[in-house]
Chain A
Amino acid sequence: MTTSIASPRRSISRGISSAVLLAIAACFLLPLAWLLLASLDTKATASLNLPAEFSLANFSAVLTPEQTLWPLWNSFLLSAGCAVITVLAAVLAAYPLSRYQARYNKPFLYGVLFGTGLPITAMMVPVYSMFVRLGQLDSVATVALFMAATSLPMAIWMTKNFMDSVPVSLEEAAWIDGASAMRALRTVVVPLMRPGLAVVFIFVFIQAWGNFFIPFILLLSNHKQPAAVTVFNFFGQYGSIAYGQLAAFSLLYSIPVIVLYILVTKGIGGSFATAGAIKG
């Protein structure tokens, strides 16, 4: 919506709208700026302050194996495991949904969409008692499977949309050469939709990485907890909160998802990554 008609009134209103936008951006920035400045301030408080001296002491204080490195590794295992399972299941499921017109397509897609809407937090109490009954409490693998299932509806939906835009004519050549559907999927379709699959993978990974509630409820041992839970325990451990270290740990834990997000929007996706999922 670029304007082609320029007038003095127009430029005044543009100035006002820019001022409003910058004011809103400043409000959004305040809590973020606190996070950054507090992490560099050894005497950080809850309030936004310019540090008397900038120091990396908070980072070196939290950068110990048990404080940060193990939890981050646990986060990685859980998120990568979840994302790999999700993408594999989603690609397989998307293929028949995208390529054949079968009677089950519509009900299945409706079911998948319905699943994207279910509030997962609402499910955590029954999931907990289900895990107790199945003896799967504190099992990282089962938690990864559960997280994969919760992200699967959205992933199938996105993958099907990406797959729909791969022309079927390319596979027909493979079929004529006698390739099976699975072989055509592996050798023709998947290589062509690699950027789309990367978007789905990163999307699921970011969600799993940021998830606090699921591991908080389903994992018990401290040494299995991802960073989301240890950062919470760290916060609750002390009477007076070590704000500087909390901010430093929070930043270390946030950087991977910020990098991945930039990768998706600037490198692979181009535009809003989930737009494909929402526009249908």
Chain B
Amino acid sequence: MTATPTRTGGAGRPPQAARRPAAAGRTPTARRSLRRAVPLVPAVVLLALFMLGPVIWSVYGSFTNASLSGTAASSPRFVGLDNYSALITDPDFPNALWLTVVFLLLSAVIGQNFLGLGLALLTAAAPKAVRSIVATTVVTAWVLPEIVAAFACYAFFSSDGTLNRMLAAVNAEPVDWLFTYPMAAVILANTWRGTAFSMMIYEAALNDVAPEITEAAVIDGAGGWKRLTYVTVPMIRNSISTNLMLITLQTLSVFTLIFVMTSGGPNQRSTTLPIFAYAEAFGLGKIGYGTAIATVMLLIGAVFSILYIRVLKPGDNS
């Protein structure tokens, strides 16, 4: 983005306005900046009500015994840290936390990120026809509504699905993927669905690398791998960190894909944190407990969000 001229101070304001006496204890500058902030009001109200509100409500609700039905539904009681101490002793919680980490690392950081980078690098030098075939298939998987993508993956991995049929064609033993390897199935599904995003970020980043730089490296005798690790990757470093943050945050909130494919089962073997919170709150009716899990997830999201902001540093270039 190029820096654009920003209107500072009162460049367009008639000069005599500054000499008007201050009214109601406010300086004209303060009044002016207040008046200028008026267009922010609708956005601020919406964000305060529906983004900040739920966050505060989440922290508050996690200290209550709110439930889906019964007396605790209409008049929840304050129970202090009970939900959190229950969370620490609940063996299902470390399980869900661990599966979330595995899901994040394998499907986002390794799957989407590396496959996306690889595709962007390979397509950059590929013939135009190949490039557009790859772009169309990979991006279609990403554009489809999540529930449709989830069904397509469910069918692909189900016991009588396409994958087992292909295995049968090469005389391999069929596997009930969703039952035997539920995590592998949802990780592959999320890689399938999300790779397009990383690919497009990296395509845009590679386009910004000046061809003279790679040409200079070629002249200096740098081979393909050396060129990649010493020239290309350092040049797109910022895009890599931005992409990693964004796909991590997106993958942290993946619910529908896992919900449709395995519903977290069998036996909680694919229950990541969003599925865990859903199952506790709506499956077992423990809203307060589910809210405590939600608060933990929000904290994890907040940490990643802060890391992401530190990488992006808004305002430095605007």
Contact = CB atoms under 8 A, between A and B. Distances in A.
A49 to B, nearest CB: 8
Interface residues of B, number: 116
A165 B119 contact: no
B46 A145 contact: yes
Given A25-B138, A90-B43, A105 B192 contact: no
A72 to B, nearest CB: 12
A40 B118 CA distance: 34
B50 to A, nearest CB: 3
Contacts of B273: 122
Contact of A89 (B2, B46, B123, B126): B46
B277 interface: yes
Interface string A112-134: 11111111111111111110000
Given A22-B130, A32-B152, A100 B294 contact: no
Interface string B91-103: 0000000000000
B95 to A, nearest CB: 18
B240 interface: no
Contacts of A109: 314-315
A104 B287 CA distance: 36
B145 interface: yes
Contacts of A278: 201, 242, 246
B298 A119 contact: yes
B57 A126 contact: yes
A113 B192 contact: no
Contacts of A128: 281-282, 287
A79 to B, nearest CB: 11
A206 B134 CA distance: 22
A225 interface: no
A232 B147 contact: yes
B293 A125 contact: yes
A115 B305 CA distance: 8
Interface in A244-279: 246-247, 250, 253-254, 257-258, 261, 271-272, 275-276, 278-279
What DSSP secondary structure best describes chain B's contact surface?
A: helix
Interface string B18-47: 000000000000000100110111111011
B226 to A, nearest CB: 15
A93 interface: yes
A238 B294 CA distance: 32
Interface in B224-283: 224, 242, 245-246, 249, 252-256, 260, 273-274, 277-278, 281-282
Q: Which of B47, B58, B162 has the most CB of A within 10 A?
A: B47
Nearest to A97: B40
Interface residues on A, range: 35 or more
A106 B315 contact: yes
B200 interface: yes
Contacts of A103: 33
B294 A46 contact: no
A258 to B, nearest CB: 6
A21 B156 contact: no
Interface in A73-115: 85, 88-90, 92-93, 95-106, 108-115
A280 interface: yes
A153 B47 contact: yes
B272 to A, nearest CB: 10
Contacts of B139: 261
B133 interface: yes
Contacts of A90: 43
Contact of A101 (B8, B125, B254): B8
B4 A164 contact: yes
A167 B46 CA distance: 29
Interface string B124-148: 1111001101100111110111111
Given A125-B287, A126-B55, A272-B204, 12 more contacts: A2-B211, A21-B134, A31-B152, A93-B42, A101-B9, A114-B302, A121-B254, A128-B281, A152-B46, A164-B318, A176-B12, A213-B256
28 contacts: A21-B130, A30-B156, A31-B152, A31-B156, A31-B162, A32-B140, A34-B152, A46-B156, A93-B44, A98-B6, A100-B36, A101-B8, A102-B33, A104-B40, A106-B314, A106-B315, A110-B314, A114-B302, A117-B249, A118-B305, A123-B298, A128-B282, A146-B50, A149-B50, A150-B50, A161-B1, A164-B1, A185-B39
